[in-house]
Chain A
Amino acid sequence: MQALYAQLLVGLINGSFYALLSLGLAVIFGMLNIINFAHGALYMMGAFCAYFLLNIFGLNYWYALIIAPIVVGIFGMVLERTLLKQLAGLDHLYGLLLTFGIALIIQGVFQNYFGSSGLPYAIPPQLQGGMNLGFMFLPVYRGWVVVFSLVVCIATWYLIERTRLGAYLRAATENPNLVRAFGINVPRMITLTYGLGIGLAALAGVLSAPINQVRPLMGADLIIVVFAVVVIGGMGSIMGSIITGFALGVIEGLTKYFYPEASNTVVFVLMVLVLLVKPTGLTGRAT
């Protein structure tokens, strides 16, 4: 039974990363109509940013949680302003190819300097150790990742679904020309939204660093699953991405316990089933 709970916890942790990354992807796709294949590479940059902050500047994990999303988010905004902006109004495929190319370049550069093996990043002292819950042993850091991710996801959902800024973003998704004609600087809002999505990916990278180590290809391994999460949840759906992210992490964990051979494919089998039954995803709206 302990093994089942342990797998559930691993599933929840993976689900946290899925949720944070798919949330960023959903925000970017929903608002900018860009399928951001560079998301995994930017997640990796978040982790590397934390590594550099610690090893070069002596700034610990808590600083990294704030600085890395800002730095990588600004890098994302520069990408949007200089490259992605040129693709406005073109087919999704162009954005996908461009961001795929960007991902390959970023990963290639990091691989060139750091190889493919992982660099260690220690768990901060405040979050070391664990708690015996009776039915299982809970490492404190892993519990922190799940709770913190959930808080960030809900805060992002609140920002988009319940605030005036979120109303601008949702309206701009439907009709950016009209929103701009109301006096709102839509291009600036698009850049900031891209920065927000990328910042979420970088935050996931920082959270992941003490668990998975810091590796140039850490995002490439994850991004395909995250895309499956976004497709299942519904492209552009904020709450859909959060719920599906956590749920698929748990389903993956349960599969590891009951039928380990299928644990790597269960997400994709679910994606096929969802696409067959509801092509817009579980919470997506037909356009």
Chain B
Amino acid sequence: MVDVKTAPNASAASGTAKAAPGAALLEIRDLQAWYGESHVLHGINFDVRTGEVVTLLGRNGAGKTSTLKSIMGMIAKRTGSVRFDGQELIKMHSDKIARLGIAICPEERGIFSSLNVHENLMLPPTVRSGGLSVEQIFDLFPNLKERLSSSQGTKLSGGEQQMLAIARILRTGARFLMLDEPTEGLAPVIIQQIGRTIQRLKSEGFTILLVEQNFRFASTVADRFFIVEHGKVIDGFANSELQANMEKLHTYLGV
């Protein structure tokens, strides 16, 4: 079973103080969630430390997206404990959670068709200082600058929509990003660009929780992996232990 012990210096991450690098920024204990009557998460446990990229791996329907949505407060019925920077989120609404500095880039990107590209980019309000400026975003995603005058966000290509979806949450000042299958349906060259972006964000101090089915992509960016199966985290290991765990990955994911 996965080791869910809090990182040694997690005690530093209490109250409103910023978690120190390496401390557990996000601690999830026995997280359970329901869509109506359907019980989808059955006790998720894992930590994400400040400054690292953690990837949730698992088959379709395993509960990866539901885990992200539960952390973000987008699933109403949930129990257990989700602590972010020492604060309990389990009873909070998603707008309050976002204002603590957590941002989500949802599966299928969530670009709004009734908004143009510029409106999509500027939609999320600034929740904290330190967000990227529009110039910094164009530096990160040069394609977006050219498409800014496009009439409709959903008229962009899949890759451009993905960049727009990531770019808009970088503006907000959130330092903890949750990216749900950012490479889904994208061309290899775009996937490489997304990978470089995640590396750069990590080097700039962002903490990232990634959901991926593309294991090869995840292995290029993640520090640690957790495997989700039937609404539970059933295993976890560091990137350095990847080779030793390939057999497990074959078993759980069929990769």
User: What is A's interface to B at a CB cutoff of 8 Å?
Assistant: 164, 167-168, 170-171, 173-175, 177-186
Contact = CB atoms under 8 A, between A and B. Distances in A.
Contacts of B93: 180
B104 interface: yes
Nearest to B114: A170
Interface in B134-188: 169, 172
Given A167-B119, A170-B112, A183 B74 contact: no
A172 to B, nearest CB: 9
A177 B74 contact: yes
B103 to A, nearest CB: 8
Chain A binding site: helix, strand, loop or mixed by DSSP? helix
B2 interface: no
A180 to B, nearest CB: 5
Given A180-B74, A181-B104, 12 more contacts: A167-B115, A167-B119, A170-B112, A170-B114, A171-B114, A180-B94, A181-B74, A181-B95, A182-B98, A182-B172, A183-B95, A186-B95
A246 to B, nearest CB: 24
A282 to B, nearest CB: 17
Contacts, number: 59
Nearest to A169: B114
Contacts of B125: 182-184
B245 interface: no
Most buried by B among A164, A167, A168: A167
Given A168-B123, A175-B110, A186-B95, A181 B73 contact: yes
B123 A181 contact: no
Contacts of A173: 114
B172 A174 contact: no
Interface of B: 72-74, 93-95, 97-99, 103-104, 106, 110, 112-115, 119, 122-125, 127, 169, 172
Nearest to B94: A181
Most buried by A among B72, B74, B94, B98: B94
Most buried by B among A170, A174, A178: A178
Contacts of A184: 95, 124-125
B83 to A, nearest CB: 19
A83 B106 CA distance: 32
B68 to A, nearest CB: 10
Contacts of B95: 180-186
Contacts of A181: 72-74, 94-95, 97-98, 104
B137 to A, nearest CB: 16
A168 B74 CA distance: 18
A237 to B, nearest CB: 11
B123 A167 contact: yes
Contacts of B99: 183
Contacts of A180: 74, 93-95, 98
Contact of A182 (B113, B114, B123): B123
A182 B112 CA distance: 13
Most buried by B among A171, A174, A183, A184: A183
Contacts of B119: 167
Nearest to B96: A183
Contacts of A182: 95, 98, 103, 123-125, 169, 172
Nearest to B125: A183
A185 to B, nearest CB: 5
Contacts of B73: 181
B213 to A, nearest CB: 21
The 3 closest A-B pairs by CB, nearest first: A183-B98, A182-B124, A181-B94
A174 B112 contact: yes
A177 B73 CA distance: 9
Contacts of B122: 164, 167
Contacts of B104: 178, 181
22 contacts: A164-B122, A170-B115, A171-B123, A174-B114, A175-B110, A175-B112, A177-B74, A178-B106, A178-B110, A179-B123, A180-B93, A180-B94, A180-B95, A181-B72, A181-B74, A181-B94, A182-B98, A182-B169, A182-B172, A183-B95, A184-B125, A185-B95
Nearest to A164: B122
A238 to B, nearest CB: 11
Most buried by B among A175, A177, A179, A186: A177
Contacts of A185: 95
Contacts of B123: 167-168, 171, 179, 182
A178 B106 CA distance: 8
